[in-house]
Amino acid sequence: MSTLNQNEKEIILESIRNIPDFPKPGIIFKDISTLLNNPKAFKLLMDHLEERYRSYNLDYIAGIDARGFIFGSILADRLGIGFVPVRKKGKLPYTTVAEKYSLEYGFDEVEIHIDAFGENGCCTTGEKSKVLLIDDLIATGGTAKAAESLIDKVGADCVECCFILELAFLKGREGFKSDVYSVLTI
């Protein structure tokens, strides 16, 4: 199940609700809360991700605030590895590293703990920690690219960026250093 067949993709896609004109007119918001409360679709998705990443020999999964926390922490538990939250500025209690990124009008910032992936980004073997970055959706990619940069800044290796849903027309996957995998593409 390293790739999903069309029927499996439809099961997951049909479980995601479209909310028109949210958060502003003209936007169709992809609501994953209906995926999360659909046990068949959610299990199918998590089984797929577990199978895909089992052979990657990852040390950590980094999930982007806040929906990436859901998928990332469950996947980390299934793989028996650590989970690291990538938070919005000011939400982490220890020493952090931050990265700014552009929004439509202005900037925002994400951060992680400086020792999130071990001392100098290295796992217990002394090698760079291998990290999977995960979030629910990639649109323009600004937040995810900032998170990927944070992983690099602390000395770890982002081996792939995973998204449940990609809005391909926004071309958000362009400009990543790591490979990008999307379960579903619209």
- Is the omega angle on the peptide bond into residue 116 within 30 degrees of 0, that is, cis? no
Active site residue 52: no
**CA of 128: how far to CAs of 25, 117, 181, 184, in Å?**
45, 9, 22, 30
Q: Output DSSP code: residue 129.
A: P
What is the distance, to the nearest Å, from the Cα of residue 74 to the centroid of all Cα atoms in its chain?
Answer: 12
Among 8, 50, 67, 109, the one annotated catalytic: 67
Question: Does a cis peptide bond (omega within 30 degrees of 0) precede residue 23?
Answer: yes
> Of the residues 104, 127, 160, 174, which is catalytic?
104
173 classed as catalytic: no
φ, ψ for residue 38 (rounded to 5)? -110, 100
Catalytic residues: 67, 104
